[in-house]
Each structure stands twice: as C-alpha cells, then as structure tokens.
Structure 1
Amino acid sequence: MRKLTTLIVLLLLFATSCKRQHEFYGHLYDQPAYNFELTDHEGKRVKLSDFTNQKKIVLLFFGYTHCPDVCPMALETMAKVMKNLTPEEAKRVQVLFISVDPERDTSEVLKGYVPYFNPTFIGLTGNEKEIEKTAKEYKAYYKKVEGESAGGYLIDHTATIYLVTPDMKIKLLYTPAKQEPKKMAEDIKFLLENS
C-alpha cells in the first residue's frame, strides 16, 4: 500500500512539473525593470509600476512617430499579439510605446498615432533627460540622424520589445528576429497562468 501511495505521489509531481514547463520564445533576461515616470498621450504622468501594480504584463517599445518602418511594424506585431490572447488575457497586458523623439512627439501627436494600432496602447513622452535616463536603464540605443527625411531627421534606435512582469522584472526580450505574434502570445499566456 505504501509503495502504491508513493507511486501516485511521484506521478502527480511529474504531471505537475510537465504542465508547468515552458520553453520561452523570447530571450530570457530576468533583470529588474526601471520604474520610469513619463507623460502619457492624455497628458498624465504615469509610472511603470502603475501597470505592474495592477498585475499586468507590460510590453515596452522605444520608437517615434516619424519612423518609416520599424516602429509601425513593431506596433502591428504587438496588436497581433493582443489578437492572439483571449479578451480576459488581453485585459492583463499593457503596451507602452516610449518616444525617443520628444522634440516632435508631443502627447497630442502620440494620441493620434499609438492608439491607431490598438485602442488600449499608450504612448509615452517626457523631456530629453527623462527619455535619456529611461533608455539608458533599459540599454536602449537611439541617435538622431540629420537631414534624411521630409521631417528633417530620422532616429536610429533599438528595435527590441521588452516584456516586463508584474514583479517588475524585464523577463523577456524580443529582438526583431523574435517578433512572432503567436509565439509571443504563448509566452504571455504561460506567464499569466503562472503569476
């Protein structure tokens, strides 16, 4: 009888460990996230912790509204990620788009751009020092390139999507080669189920 009980317990433990295993599609990073404070596209000051305190997963991207290709593609990718989640799961995910072009990207400009991809998406801006500090903390690169577009300049920038968990960790990094919506959604579903 004791052997049978032990066998049942071992089988249950094995089944539980199999269920919880998940091979992340994104690059596992697992480092503390900087709790920035910036201005949203409604003109309100917000912190990263405003969203993580609601037990939300945050997808974070650094870009700018005059970006010809990378930024719209990243926002479209994140919109598709949201479509691969159930409505209940999607309510627990917040996309934040941080502008690296505070000179042109006012709250009003961001309001007309970011929610176009999904009405729940939030655009963030700030003064140059705030943006510089936030980008530095996330190891995000950006640099103005003069005279290369009708708008006067382009900005070279990091094209990584950061996934921040409710415990304020940058859990996963999605570099451009890893921005596959269905697989990103699978990572999110796993994290939501196990948070």
Structure 2
Amino acid sequence: MMNNFNFSLKSAFSAAISVLLVSSLAACNPASTGASSDRQAEAPLAGAEIGGSFSLVNQDGGTTSDSDFAGQYRIMYFGYSYCPDVCPIDLQKLMQGLALAEKEDSEIAKRVQPLFITIDPERDQPEQLKQYVSAFHPRLIGLTGSPEQIADIAGKYLILYGKRDDADTTEYLVDHSRQAYLFGKNGEPIALLPYDGTPREIADEIKRWAT
C-alpha cells in the first residue's frame, strides 16, 4: 500500500508542477549564478498559481499570517517533526544554505524569512515545533494549525500528504511531497530551492533571487 501511495503522490504532483520543474532547472545550475543577466532573468515560477494567504499558530503559541512577511522573501518547506529522515535532512541543508548566504551577505537575514509548516498538526503542537525548528536555524518559524487549516494551505501550495494506511498508533508516518519554495516580497512564487543540493548551491540560489 505504501508503494501505491508513493506512486500516486508523485504522479499527481508531477502533473501539477512538471512544467515548473523543467523551467527551474536553469535556476538550479550553480554555474549560472554569477552572471548579472541570469539574476535579471524571469523567475522560474513567475506567474504560477502557487501560494496564498494563511493564518496559523507559531511555535510560541501566537498567530502568524502571511501578511507578517510583507516586503520579505520567504523560504517555505512543508514536513513534520516526527519525520525520521527526509525532513531533517532537507531542513538541515536548506538552513545551512541560508546560513551561508547570510554569512556572505548580512542583508539576507533581513530580506529572507524561513518557514516550516507541518502537515501533521495532530502531533506537531507549538511546544513540539519550537524544540524542532530551533535545531536548524535560530530564525526558522514553525507553523501549525487545525487539520482543516493545514489542508487548506497545503492545497494552495500544491503539497500532497497523507498518513500511511497501516498507521494505527501515535507512531504513524506521513507521506508528503517534497518542495522547498522561495517566494517573493509580495508572496509571489519565485523558484524551487534545490533541497537535495549542497549548502553552496542553495545559498547561490537564495542570493540569486533574494535581491
């Protein structure tokens, strides 16, 4: 059943974003990040219908909305804190890349806000998220909400997820699509960050677009 779910998950997501992935390949090429003409090129996800407004609970128990980041770029990654391998590896690389970009350009810390949104709101309560996100980056904000709120934002951001069919205890796993988005100052989609790349590649991509 797990294999069938994974196949359906990948197929559905590929159908929704395959064109965008192809257009983003050039953006993921570290060899092209130094040219000013590349920096001025149209963003790979420009015009894509990805994203939207949200109002969720942050790791401190307060409310965080998309409007809080007006004028800032946003790195957005969806996952869950009980994920045994994929999420922590992706987050580690993404946040290492962000930290490298911040080291090389101190203004990045002001311009770019990283966000982690859980797709497992039943277990990822604020106190759990606070402990989790603090392990990756001091500015990483963890967000949760009701199952309905999470379903709504996941739909807006083209994230598919679901518990494994054999989940009958609190120790269940959740399958989900993997995407690391970079959004612009007005909440517009810009590019897919290479979460499976090196911190250097991720830093270059952040610096390329977050200007």
TM-score range relative to shorter protein: 0.7 to 0.9
**Alpha-carbon offset, residue 23 of structure 1:** 6.6
What's the RMSD between the two structures over aligned residues?
2.4
Q: Distance in 2 between matches of 1:56 and 1:181?
A: 21
What is aligned with 1:42? 60
Once the two structures are TM-superposed, the CA of residue 44 in structure 1 deviates from its matched residue by 1.1
Aligned partner (choices 182, 191, 195) of residue 209 of structure 2: 191
TM-aligned CA distance change 1:175 to 1:154, over 3 Å? farther
Quick check: which one's strand share is greater? 1
Note the 1:1-195 alignment, pairs <5 A. 20-22=36-38, 28-30=44-46, 31=48, 33-51=51-69, 53=70, 55-85=71-101, 86-147=105-166, 151-174=170-193, 177=196, 179-193=197-211
Identical pairs, percent: 34
1-structure distance, mates of 2:163, 2:125 = 17
- Structure whose alpha-carbon radius of gyration is higher: 1
Q: How far did 1:19 drift?
A: 5.8
1:71 Cα shift?
A: 0.6
What letter is aligned with 1:48?
D
Residue ranges of structure 2 left out of the alignment (5+ in a row): 1-33
SS where residue 172 of structure 1 aligns?
A: strand
Equivalent pairs counted in the alignment come to 171
Asked if the contact 1:65–1:99 (Cα under 8 Å) also holds between the matched residues in 2, the reply is yes
- SS state of the match for residue 49, structure 1? helix
Give the superposition deviation at 1:180. Answer: 3.3
1:66 touches 1:151 (CA, 8 Å); kept in 2?
Answer: no
Decide whether the 8 Å contact of 2:93 with 2:195 is kept in 1. Answer: no
Cα contact 1:95–1:122 (8 A) shared by 2:
yes
The one-letter code of the counterpart of 1:92 is: R
Report if the CA contact (8 A) 2:80-2:118 is conserved: yes
CA shift digits 1:100-126 (9 cap, x unpaired): 001000001000111211111010000
The answer (yes or no) to whether the contact 1:61–1:96 under 8 Å persists in 2 is yes
Is residue 36–residue 47 contact of structure 1 (8 Å, CA) maintained in 2?
yes
Q: How far does residue 21 in structure 1 lie from its aligned partner after superposition? A: 1.2
The alignment partner of 1:74 has SS state of helix
Deviation at 1:187, TM superposition (A): 2.4
In the alignment, which residue of structure 2 is the partner of 1:12?
none
- SS of the residue corresponding to residue 134 of structure 2 reads helix
Matches of 1:49 and 1:116, distance apart in 2: 26
